[in-house]
């Protein structure tokens, strides 16, 4: 139900404990101790991302998209030396909740490379519990300064949720997260895509005490946008 029921204190605490445990496990498998993982955001990033504020980090994303639109991409950090540089640890400057659509490769859309973005993708860019936990890790542990919800035009998941026709397997499990946007849009699919971005961003902040605290402290900026499959432009969505 787009996680409209806010979890209680005990639920939030359990979610945080789960996230912390997951962070330690991931760090261990990455060749990092849990102590080193917690220090990642402070360690200094060779790309200069550490010196950027959340707003400047968001501006950097949009600047990359402008290069992509203009056909002037620099394709930064996409070679073997960069991969070896970030192999010991990662310090992405932005985290994403994006759609799994094959036409929306987020690093390409924003002209970024290895280690720049922490990306979660799911059909309909919905804020499921698992994606929220991953994004808590990307922000709280890895230090991403922007948390971006990216939808796109002609989204099949939104269209399917609006149609309400029978679908195979567990595809319909996505629909409960999208239907609030469908209702708000009153049948307009383009509006529904935009409303879905807004609702999922709200869910991230309301369902996660970790994310809401980072936002309140000015450490993370939550933003959203729609990627146009025809022009390549990411159009910002007002989340207010």
- Domain CATH code at residue 15: 3.40.1050.10
Is residue 101 in some structural domain? yes
pLDDT for 26: 42
Is residue 2 in some structural domain? no
pLDDT for 120 beyond 50:
yes
Is residue 217 in some structural domain? yes
Domain that holds residue 32: 9-236
Q: What is the mean pLDDT of the chain?
A: 86
Is residue 48 in some structural domain? yes
Is residue 56 in some structural domain? yes
Is residue 59 in some structural domain? yes
- What token pair was written down for 136? 């808590």
Say which residue, 123 or 36, is predicted with more confidence: 123
pTM of the model: 0.82
pLDDT tens profile 130-171: 999 999 999 999 999 999 999 999 999 999 999 999 999 999
Q: How many domains does the chain have?
A: 1
Is residue 1 in some structural domain? no
- Asked whether 129 and 154 are in contact (CB, 8 A), the reply is no
Is residue 160 in some structural domain? yes
The percent of residues in the chain predicted with pLDDT above 70, rounded, is 80
pLDDT average, residue stretch 95-120: 98
* Residue 137 DSSP symbol: I
Helix (H) or strand (E) holding 149: strand 146-152
Helix (H) or strand (E) holding 218: none
CA distance 68 to 59: 14
């Amino acid at each position: 139900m787009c996680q409209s029921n806010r979890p209680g204190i005990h639920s939030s605490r359990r979610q945080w404990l789960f996230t912390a445990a997951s962070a330690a496990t991931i760090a261990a498998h990455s060749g990092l101790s849990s102590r080193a993982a917690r220090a990642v955001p402070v360690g200094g990033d060779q790309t200069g991302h550490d010196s950027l504020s959340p707003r400047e980090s968001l501006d950097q994303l949009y600047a990359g998209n402008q290069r992509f639109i203009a056909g002037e991409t620099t394709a930064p950090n996409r070679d073997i030396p960069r991969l070896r540089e970030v192999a010991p640890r990662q310090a992405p400057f932005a985290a994403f909740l994006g759609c799994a659509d094959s036409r929306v490769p987020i690093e390409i859309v924003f002209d970024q490379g290895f280690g720049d973005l922490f990306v979660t993708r799911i059909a309909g860019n919905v804020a499921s519990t698992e994606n929220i936990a991953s994004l808590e890790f990307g922000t709280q542990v890895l230090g991403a300064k922007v948390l971006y919800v990216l939808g796109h035009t002609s989204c099949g998941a939104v269209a399917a949720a609006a149609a309400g026709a029978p679908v195979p397997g567990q595809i319909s499990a996505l629909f409960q997260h999208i239907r609030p946007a469908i209702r708000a849009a009153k049948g307009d699919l383009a509006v529904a895509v935009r409303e879905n971005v807004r609702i999922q961003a709200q869910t991230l902040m309301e369902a996660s005490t970790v994310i809401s605290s980072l936002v309140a402290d000015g450490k993370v900026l939550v933003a959203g946008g729609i990627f146009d499959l025809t022009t390549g432009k990411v159009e910002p969505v007002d989340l207010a």
